[in-house]
Structure 1
Amino acid sequence: MLVVLSCVILAEMAWTIYLGAQLPRTYIAEHWDVAWVGLDLAEIAMLAGTAWAAWAAWKRRAILVGFAVAAATLLVVDGWFDLTTARSGDFRQSLVVALLVELPGAIAMLWIAQRGVRRVVHDVVNLEATSLLKLPLHPPER
């Protein structure tokens, strides 16, 4: 697995360098509206999935971790593209929305995901984890 991930990382690095050198500074995009609406619909779906998994279901679901991480990722991506594609006159508004809505929303989603992982670890695996970075993928042999 480490070899495959290393190869993917190296390929992505090479692709990023290539794009950095080859992409034009400006570009007229077709279906701009579809791209943005699609991103926002994906965010709504992940936020709704998180809400369903956390509260709306008759029993809380561990899948909320996946929904919350995906929602956090999409919120950060949304903020990034808002900032990097904003015209000079729209940059301030994009920055405010990124700092007051998208980044705090992403942090909240990651906090929810972290709590979900801790609950699963505590209730299902019966481990006390002080840090997600120290949490093993497999429980220790007993």
Structure 2
Amino acid sequence: MSLTLTPNHPAAAHLRRLFLAVITASFVFLLAWVVYLATSLPEHREVAHWDIAWVGFDCFLVAAIGMTALWAWLRRPILIPWAIITATLLCCDAWFDIVLDWNTPDLPISLLTAGVGELPLAALLFYAAWRLIRLSMAAAWARSGRGEPPRMWRVRMSIFEHSAVPRDEHTGEH
């Protein structure tokens, strides 16, 4: 038997509070961690297993691109998170390639691959995910008889609310 949580269910409210606490604490911790790293890391360091780190990262990137392509070919909505994951990994790859090649003869190649390959593909994937979410919202809104959906940032997640319809800013009504 599966448990279905309604927005009013106490467990749903508890899970939301727990999620908010964890994600907010993570944000605060990472801010402090970045300050610590910025002031304590050495500028130069010899690293063992450099090749394993990069090959491993690129294997994850290849897997993510493969999953994105698979779900795109199959026209499945799970494409959306895979597109976001892949775009994020592409941005990370471009960042680290450029930063780590900054004072080396490999910098022009890193800039070229980032500017012509990784970052444009990441932008395309982020845009595709955003458009697919908007199209899904528009279809759901139309099926429910609400017409054109509002901007994504104004729509509340229905699992956490009594109604997924945004409140009017002036009247407070749905």
Does TM, scored on the shorter chain, surpass 0.5? yes
Matched, 1:123 2:139: yes
Query: d(CA) in 2 for partners of 1:129 and 1:42?
Result: 36
TM-score, length-scaled by structure 2: 0.71
Which residues of 2 match residues 5-24 of structure 1 at below 5 A? 5-24=23-42
Out of 139, 149, 156, which is 1:136 matched to? Answer: 156
Among all aligned residue pairs of Structure 1 and Structure 2, give the percentage whose two residues are the same amino acid.
33
Matched, 1:94 2:119: no
**TM-aligned CA deviation for residue 123 of structure 1:** 3.2
Query: d(CA) in 2 for partners of 1:129 and 1:108?
Result: 23
Aligned residues: 139
Query: d(CA) in 2 for partners of 1:50 and 1:124?
Result: 23
User: Cα RMSD over matched residues?
Assistant: 2.1
Query: d(CA) in 2 for partners of 1:130 and 1:107?
Result: 23
Any idea what SS the aligned residue of 1:89 has? coil
Which residues of 2 match residues 45-84 of structure 1 at below 5 A? 45-55=63-73, 57=74, 60-84=75-99
Please list every run of 5 or more consecutive structure 1 residues that lacks an aligned counterpart in the other structure: none
Higher helix proportion (structure 1 or 2): 1
Relative distance call for 1:49 and 1:129 in structure 2 (3 A) is farther
Query: d(CA) in 2 for partners of 1:136 and 1:48?
Result: 32
TM-score, length-scaled by structure 1: 0.86
- Does the CA-based 8 Å contact 2:141-2:149 persist in structure 1? no
- Does the CA-based 8 Å contact 2:155-2:165 persist in structure 1? no
Query: d(CA) in 1 for partners of 2:149 and 2:57?
Result: 34
- Does the CA-based 8 Å contact 1:76-1:106 persist in structure 2? yes
Any idea what SS the aligned residue of 2:157 has? coil
**TM-aligned CA deviation for residue 124 of structure 1:** 4.1
